[in-house]
């Protein structure tokens, strides 16, 4: 299937912010986007129903005609790790169940899957975000907060992604804080150590993130390259 797996160096780094912007731009280019966030915790209760805000944002950005339950079937109220939240709800979820959700309708468009937490965060009873990404075999986009300490975080995550044998689309440095030290240039520093593109996204409090066109092109061309490789192989 065609698509991308969006993961982060940690929770709260802006995966949904970046994922929604990608979904929005792809939709505007005529690409049918199938958003998936198979499990989400920290969901508020609205009119007796748990609402997964991240999944809802992805659905709206992609103008996805499917239901919110298709985007995110497993929802939990406590703002804690999905696995712990599932335990508290007396539910046992497996990586296979999450994979099944991501594969549904996957042949009909570009599947945009967002994990929960960081790449090595537990996601199900028997697996991490890394295990879901490996099972899906989608190219991975790594999102990190553009802040002090991100160099170590990104380099560790990139190594973990490569150990899994996954294709790394690139790294997105997301500026969450309005003010940051002007002497810092994490993107330039990371480019000295990585052989993949590093994209910077400036602080934006409202609306879709302004993404570089090169990022969208990179996301799409990864699939063209993989398809050619399979045909040649």
pLDDT at 142: 98
The position carrying tokens 């804690």 is 80
Residues 225 and 222: their CA atoms lie apart, in Å, by 5
Residue 227 has pLDDT above 50, yes or no: no
pLDDT at 44: 97
Residues 134 and 136: their CA atoms lie apart, in Å, by 5
pLDDT at 172: 98
Residue 165 has pLDDT above 80, yes or no: yes
pLDDT at 125: 95
| Domain ranges for the chain | 2-232
Largest CA distance in the chain: 53
H/E stretch holding 74 reads strand 74-75
pLDDT at 231: 33
Strands 45-46 and 49-50: antiparallel
Residues 39 and 93: their CA atoms lie apart, in Å, by 9
Catalytic sites, residue numbers:
37
Q: Which of 53, 48, 46, 41 is nearest to 17 (CA)?
A: 53
Other residues' Cβ atoms within 10 Å of the Cβ of residue 115: 26
pLDDT at 223: 58
Q: What is the pLDDT of residues 100-156, one digit of tens each?
A: 999 988 888 999 999 999 999 999 999 999 999 999 999 999 999 999 999 999 999
The answer to whether residues 142 and 7 touch, using CB atoms and an 8 Å cutoff, is yes
CATH topology of domain 2-232: Rossmann fold (3.40.50)
pLDDT at 205: 77
Q: What is the pLDDT of residues 18-69, one digit of tens each?
A: 999 999 999 999 999 999 999 999 999 999 999 999 999 999 999 999 999 9
Q: What is the mean pLDDT of residues 5-23?
A: 97
pLDDT at 225: 52
29 — phi, psi (to 5°)? -90, 5
SS3 120: coil
Residue 228 has pLDDT above 60, yes or no: no
Summary mean pLDDT of the chain: 93
pLDDT at 36: 98
The answer to whether residues 37 and 54 touch, using CB atoms and an 8 Å cutoff, is yes
Residues 227 and 173: their CA atoms lie apart, in Å, by 28
Helix, strand counts (H, E) of the chain:
9, 12
Q: Which of 28, 12, 2, 3 is nearest to 208 (CA)?
A: 28
User: 227: burial class by Cβ within 10 Å (0-12, 13-18, 19+)?
Assistant: exposed
pLDDT at 230: 42
Residues 225 and 60: their CA atoms lie apart, in Å, by 29
Q: What is the pLDDT of residues 190-219, one digit of tens each?
A: 999 999 999 999 998 788 999 999 999 999
pLDDT at 178: 87
Residue 180 has pLDDT above 90, yes or no: no
H/E stretch holding 83 reads helix 82-88
pLDDT at 67: 97
CA distances from residue 203 to 20, 77, 218 in whole angstroms, order as listed: 15, 29, 22
């Amino acid at each position: 299937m065609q698509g991308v797996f969006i993961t982060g160096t940690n929770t709260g780094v802006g995966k949904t912010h970046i994922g929604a912007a990608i979904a929005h731009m792809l939709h505007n280019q005529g690409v049918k986007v199938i958003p998936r966030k198979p499990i989400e915790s920290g969901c508020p209760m609205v009119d007796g129903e748990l609402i997964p805000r991240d999944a809802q944002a992805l659905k709206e950005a992609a103008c996805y005609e499917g239901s919110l339950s298709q985007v995110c079937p497993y929802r939990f109220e406590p703002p804690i790790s999905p696995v712990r939240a599932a335990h508290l709800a007396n539910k046992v979820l497996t990586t296979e169940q999450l994979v099944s959700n991501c594969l549904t309708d996957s042949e009909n468009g570009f599947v945009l899957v967002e994990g929960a937490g960081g790449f090595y965060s537990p996601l199900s009873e028997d697996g991490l975000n890394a295990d879901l990404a490996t099972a899906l075999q989608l190219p991975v986009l790594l999102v990190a907060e553009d802040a002090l300490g991100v160099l170590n975080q990104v380099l560790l995550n990139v190594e973990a992604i490569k150990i899994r044998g996954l294709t790394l689309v690139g790294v997105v440095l997301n500026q969450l804080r309005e003010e940051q030290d002007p002497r810092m240039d994490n993107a330039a520093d990371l480019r000295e150590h990585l052989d993949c593109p590093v994209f910077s996204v400036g602080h934006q409090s409202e609306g879709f993130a302004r993404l570089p066109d090169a990022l969208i092109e990179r996301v799409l061309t990864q699939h063209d390259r993989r398809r050619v490789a399979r045909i040649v192989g």
